[in-house]
Structure 1
Amino acid sequence: MYQENVIIQNESGLHARPAALLVKEAGNFSSEIQLVKNGKEANAKSLLGLMSLSIQKGDEITLKAEGEDAEKAVTTLRQLIESGFNE
């Protein structure tokens, strides 16, 4: 398992548009990917799961993945989050 912590920077947190971008990007990896906020986990490939975490600006989350491309998955998703979801 590989994991990294990241702080949400974009003003609106992880609302529908950035969550959809995160789900789309997570779908490119074969690893199982989870987002964790305050001990609550959600599948990074599930839009409803991510929305259920109610992630806001300034929240610290943990990205964790397990599988053959786990490190690449976590690194890529962290970079997407740190960019403020600017494609």
Structure 2
Amino acid sequence: MEKNSTRKIIVDISDNVTIVEVSKATQKYESEIYLMKNVNGSIHEINLKSFLGLITLQLRNGDQLTVRTVGEDCEEALADVVQYLCQS
């Protein structure tokens, strides 16, 4: 069974960081990285490595997300994503 990690966070991105930078920074991981967000009662899940998915999700500070990583380096990938998305 593949390793996985999950954490609920509240987005708090500084003005200096774009979500595209977050996506680029996570390309080094073998793990798949997913962001889940409740939008008007509907759960949307995107792959963080997908630019189109990121545009669709429209992240804003204060958004509540679930970050889920799946793969051998899932703990490292999760820690990196949380650091980017909760850094102010």
Provide the residue aligned with 2:47 in structure 1.
Answer: 43
- What is the CA distance between 1:78 and its match in structure 2? 0.2
Aligned-pair Cα RMSD in Å: 1.6
TM-score by length of 2: 0.81
- What is the CA distance between 1:10 and its match in structure 2? 3.2
**1:1-80 paired onto structure 2 within 5 Å:** 1-10=4-13, 18-38=18-38, 39-80=43-84
The answer (yes or no) to whether the contact 2:36–2:65 under 8 Å persists in 1 is yes
Mapped to 2, the partners of 1:43 and 1:10 lie a distance apart of 18
Higher percent of residues as strand: 2
Unaligned runs of 5+ in 1: none
Unaligned runs of 5+ in 2: none
Structure 1 stretches of 4+ moved >2 Å: none
Mapped to 2, the partners of 1:35 and 1:75 lie a distance apart of 13
- What is the CA distance between 1:82 and its match in structure 2? 1.2
TM-score by length of 1: 0.82
Kindly, what percent of the aligned residue pairs are identical?
Answer: 31
Bigger radius of gyration: 2
Mapped to 2, the partners of 1:77 and 1:42 lie a distance apart of 14
- What is the CA distance between 1:11 and its match in structure 2? 6.8
